């Protein structure tokens, strides 16, 4: 007949997880058919920066850490563990800095901590002297060196500039897939 003996079970733990995926269209949204990135390293840290767990994504790009006390955590994808040249397109907090803060609630799973990455693209070609003015580079039509070439966004903002080499070639690398 004793009352008032309420207990709070603080041992009920939570979990967090998500997916690291290959963002084929570089839109920052995981679309149907976009595969996960296997073997990516994800580090879970406490807010003080202490490492709680180091995880490796599975064949589907998924990762999960169980048995976490309620609280705040930092989830970080290690860029060196991704395919060479990967460019981040998606991040749970939209900052594209390979990390996000996550809150774990006792007895619940904090999911959708997903990170997207695209393979880099490049644009390049040749500036040449079109001797017969037909718009086609033909044998004997030389490249032109030291011509400034500008890379523009689809909204006409200059993103980068370069100069053609001795053979008239130029290239812009490390680009997100898209329209330029």
Strands 109-110 and 14-22 turn out to be parallel
Strands 115-118 and 14-22 turn out to be parallel
pLDDT at 47: 87
pLDDT at 175: 87
d(CA 152, CA 52): 43
- Helix, strand or coil for residue 65? strand
Task: Please state whether the predicted TM-score (pTM) of the whole model is above 0.85.
Answer: no
d(CA 151, CA 156): 9
- Helix, strand or coil for residue 82? coil
Question: Please, are residues 101 and 74 in contact by the beta-carbon 8 Å criterion?
Answer: yes
Question: Please, are residues 39 and 72 in contact by the beta-carbon 8 Å criterion?
Answer: no
- Helix, strand or coil for residue 87? strand
Closest CA to 102 of 62, 132, 153, 68: 68
**Which of the 8 DSSP states describes residue 35?**
P
pLDDT digits (tens, 9 = 90+) for 86-105: 999 999 999 999 999 999 99
The proportion of the chain whose per-residue pLDDT surpasses 70, expressed as a percent, equals 94
Interval 60-74 mean pLDDT: 97
Question: Please, are residues 46 and 87 in contact by the beta-carbon 8 Å criterion?
Answer: no
């Amino acid at each position: 007949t004793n009352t008032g003996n309420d207990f709070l079970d603080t041992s009920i733990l939570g979990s967090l997880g998500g997916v690291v995926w290959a963002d084929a269209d570089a839109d920052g949204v995981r679309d149907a058919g976009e595969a996960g990135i296997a073997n990516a390293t994800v580090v879970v840290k406490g807010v003080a920066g202490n490492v709680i767990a180091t995880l490796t994504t599975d064949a589907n790009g998924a990762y999960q850490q169980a048995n976490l006390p309620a609280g705040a955590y930092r989830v970080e994808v290690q860029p060196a563990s991704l395919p060479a040249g990967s460019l981040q397109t998606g991040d749970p907090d939209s900052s594209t800095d390979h990390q996000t803060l996550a809150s774990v609630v006792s007895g619940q799973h904090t999911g959708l901590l997903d990170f997207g990455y695209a393979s880099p693209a490049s644009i390049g070609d040749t500036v040449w002297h079109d001797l017969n003015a037909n718009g086609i580079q033909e044998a004997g039509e030389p490249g032109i060196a030291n011509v400034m070439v500008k890379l523009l966004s689809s909204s006409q903002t200059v993103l980068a500039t370069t100069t053609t080499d001795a053979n008239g070639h130029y290239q812009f690398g490390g680009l997100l897939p898209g329209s330029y």
